[in-house]
A and B are shown apart, each in its own frame.
Chain A
Amino acid sequence: MTDWDAVVSQHVEIVRCTVHRIVGNHADAWDCIQETFLEAVKVDRREPVRNWPALLRRLATVRALDFVRARSRRRGQNGAEAELAQTIGREPSPSSNAEASELAGRLRTAVGQLPRRQAQVFCLTYFEQMPSTEVAEQLGISPTAARMLLSRARQRLQRFLEPFYEAVSQEDERT
């Protein structure tokens, strides 16, 4: 039988950080953390878990993305796009910390607009820094499929973020 006290105490930080990277500072992050561990209980019943950190990072990513997507749906598609347009339209902040925070926020909003599988592959690759073979194993797809999904995710993000990064690149060139 799995020692859940140990699993939670050893990995709660990993789950918390993974959720935070996608959801940001949001009160609902707590729900995502809880749901991640409850999902892990179900997985553990089905099959022996070989790599707890990898499994929990994958489950937390999926939960957090579902949460972000549900939030977008609640606001309506137009609302989500408006939010993205609004963040893109803003002038870059003079303070570098504030600028980084805004950049992070923009990326999060755009990732929330990606199709489910593409968003999962993107987050596991970029935010969780997993190699494509591990991403593929965690999502039950082939490494080729994982690479293809990542490439599509990047293409979409490029489209979503184009107005903003063009503004940033012009700013960079000026400075």
Chain B
Amino acid sequence: MEKAMKKYMDDNVIYTNQFAVIAFVVMIAFKISMLPSYMYETVGRDSWLIIGILLVIEAIMFMLTLYVTKRINLLADDSKWLYVIHAIIYGYTMIRLVVLYSGLITYTANSLFDQGRIDFIVIAFAIVIPYIVSRGGNTIARLFQIIFYFLAVILIVMVLTPSFKWDLSELTPIFGTNNGKLINGFTNYSVWFGDYVLLFYFTVKPKQNKVLNKASVPIALVFSIIGVVLFYVAFIAVYGEAGSLVYFAFNRMSVFNTISELLGATNFLSILVWMIMSLLQIILMFWTATNALMCIIKSKIIAITFNILFVSLVEWFWVQKLETAHNFAIGPVKYFILACQFILPIALFIYTKIRCKEEV
């Protein structure tokens, strides 16, 4: 048993370029689905600027996370102080999981079926996710890496065949009205941010090619910031004030390409892309929650079983609708999440510095 546990702990070693791919996917996935509509409802046409600022902060935190994960292995470190960190990470991830998982379930129910039943979709995911989680961190990272090329091809096809009827004047005036609500844009949707916390349980091992190795993470972060901001610009220019009525922004926006014009409302390319990205992120969240709980209770099987049962039952019996998850996310939990997003990386950064000094 102990041998299996040790193997699992060692299975979290990934390369810097895998870290970059994961950062790229998780920075994008849930920010281009329901969030554009929620953001527009709160801050209006300036939401592309707010998301830009938030993503820059997130990118800085990703770099901090990279610094930490290159130096310590949280899974193998048995310092007592880390129990507090594990507990916070567990609470943080479970709250985000409940909210974001409901997005994936609703999306699957709406886009793949006429009247998809949430309970069956929850059960289907509940079988697949724990299996992948049980395989360990580097299996998940490898999965991200394999699927990344597939995602990149589809995204490029979609970007190269646009047929937008946009009105760029919808973006003006910048900071013209509704300025009082801008601050809400920074705080209300904290649950959709802070994906770097999901990477703390990895241990990053540099590859031999140093230049490319160092540059891969900043390049991935810059690409995802530019991609998401441009997506928001296009979203606002296409839908204007109707943006708050569009629930699955990426799915709806992807209709505006020449391929989809010929085929009808369903763009399977976009459904595939988003489902894969979001499922990967949900798997990563489950893995993080499992690791956090496992470090406290010292049992992988119990951690996986408890997490999947808990989240599945919450989705099945309580969340059901997207609105419930949304209202929960913008309730008091948003402050806890927001605090964690700053406290966790800074605390772990300080801890890493201390550990490095001790080792010297």
A, B bound: no
